[in-house]
Structure 1
Amino acid sequence: MIELRTPAEIEQMKPAGAFVAQVLTTVREAATVGVDLLRLDAIAAEMIRKAGAKSTYVDYHPSFGAMPFGKVICTSVNDAVLHGLPHAYRLKDGDLLTLDFACEVDGWVADSAVSFVVGTPREADLTIIETTERALDAAIAAAQPGGRMGDVSAAIGEVCHAAGYSVNLDFGGHGVGRTMHGDPHVPNDGRAGRGVHLRPGLVFAIEPWLMETTDRIFTDPDGWTLRSADGSRAAHSEHTIAITEDGPLILTARDSLVE
């Protein structure tokens, strides 16, 4: 069921968005060569504890997960694109890392993701990261009151296809509110003018993700991490937004934070 939030409720969601942005910024700063993924998860967990917030990941066990996730942040490295389960791995120079984090603050949830290169970047990595960021920006710009969800999906697909990437539709964006995942689904490709009406009060996450030379994925033996079928690298960008009378409001914006 799609729920519309009142202006007062959207105001109440802002602290969750700001906290998610703060955690991603802090963990990104800590993600240097030689740092273990479990250390990054511990940093996020400590921030959750100090803030009196609640992890939406630890007990999360959807049908596609082998067991409850058990950690508080997703850390997807190189050919891992989604749901990267933190494990004992020390980051190496040139690793492409995606951090995906959702959390509940005062009963409201926000969700966001960022990809970046640790140490020395490859040009192809920078290109795929930049493409997901441009696709996210285009999708947010298309999320106007009175429009349709297809406008958002089409904006993502247009950017990704123009850059030469194929798009996987198995996972996409989703409604956000009292829980991490809800209606509506936000596909990463589609036709403008179709789908759910974008009405003020609608809150959802937009999350374009791409793999360098494939659109096929498989699940890692850890039961959670999704990897590219051909071993090519991947990137993922995400924000939680609210549709308002004045246009889209980015609840997880990191612009005001030092990255």
Structure 2
Amino acid sequence: MMKLKSASEIDKMHQAGKLLAACHRELRQRIKPGVSTMELNDFVEQFLNKYGATPEQKGYMGYPYATCASVNDVICHGMPTPNKLTDGDIVTIDMVVNLDGWLADSAWSYPVGQINPEAQQLLQVTQEALNQGIGLAKVGNRIGDIAHAIQTFVEGQGYAVVKDFCGHGIGQEMHEDPEVPHFGEPHQGPELEEGMVLTIEPMVNVGTDQLYIDDDGWTARTLDGQLSAQYEHTLAITHEGPVILTSQDIE
């Protein structure tokens, strides 16, 4: 069942989102060759604790870390490791912030040092796919309108959108209704209503959309070993249009 949020509840989620965005801005300065994803994970946990927040995914279904850190061919749910990032890598850092019982969720893909044009194009297409979806997150539209816009854009650019994972409602629980797929037909699915808060989080692959899960039970990789990227925002549906609660722009 969908849980509509009041203006005051959305404001509480926005406060969590602002803290999450500030953490991502700090990560931009720290992601470089020679840094490990475990070091980045530890920084995130310390940053959140400093401001009275906690990493919601730590302990979720046994997941042991404050972040998901997905490098190169990892689509999502990559576990932080002591391995050093190298020049030319791309890495996605995904985190869910709990501030006073209200959540915000955002993933962002970053270049490590100097990346090649193929990787840079993938990042640009994936971020624009997110923007395309957000642009249709309006009262009266349907989830399928968001999904179709993302799929049409991504495939039109010659990439594959991952179908095995989706966005979701969010509030005081990490995963609420509705599910928000990134592929589908327009005018289908739940209608968007004022007070809904959800994530849009397209994962885009250079090659096939097929994947496999590592033995750790979490890490999802592209089946063909090619690159994958992801961008995600948490947003509120309002009569004035979508409000991005995890915007990294300085407010």
Q: What secondary structure does 1:254 align onto?
A: coil
Q: Could you tell me how far 1:221 is from its partner in structure 2?
A: 2.4
Partner residue of 1:135 out of 129, 132, 136: 129
- Give the alignment's Cα RMSD to 1 decimal: 1.1
**Corresponding residue number in structure 1 for 2:228:** 234
Q: What secondary structure does 2:93 align onto?
A: strand
C-alpha separation in 2, matches of 1:229 and 1:54: 33
C-alpha separation in 2, matches of 1:218 and 1:29: 32
Q: Could you tell me how far 1:128 is from its partner in structure 2?
A: 1.1
> Would you say the 8 A contact 2:31–2:110 is kept in 1?
no
Q: Deviations over 1:8-58 (max 9, x none)?
A: 211121111101111122123211110111110110010121111122111
**Corresponding residue number in structure 2 for 1:210:** 204
**Corresponding residue number in structure 2 for 1:56:** 56
**Paired AA for residue 45 in structure 1:** E
Gaps of 5+ in 1: 62-67
**Corresponding residue number in structure 1 for 2:106:** 112
Q: TM-score, normalised by structure 1?
A: 0.94
**Paired AA for residue 34 in structure 2:** G
Q: Deviations over 1:213-243 (max 9, x none)?
A: 1111111223211110111011000000000
**Corresponding residue number in structure 1 for 2:170:** 176
C-alpha separation in 2, matches of 1:4 and 1:31: 37
Pairing 1:21–2:18 present: no
Pairing 1:73–2:73 present: no
Identity of aligned residues (%): 39
**Corresponding residue number in structure 2 for 1:185:** 179
Aligned length: 251
Partner residue of 1:252 out of 231, 235, 246: 246
Runs of 4+ in structure 1 off by over 6 angstroms are none
> Would you say the 8 A contact 1:24–1:101 is kept in 2?
no
Q: What secondary structure does 1:119 align onto?
A: coil
**Paired AA for residue 94 in structure 2:** D
**Corresponding residue number in structure 1 for 2:88:** 94
**Paired AA for residue 28 in structure 2:** R
**Corresponding residue number in structure 2 for 1:64:** none
Structure 1 range deviating more: 136-145 or 219-228: 219-228
Partner residue of 2:147 out of 153, 168, 171: 153
C-alpha separation in 1, matches of 2:93 and 2:193: 30
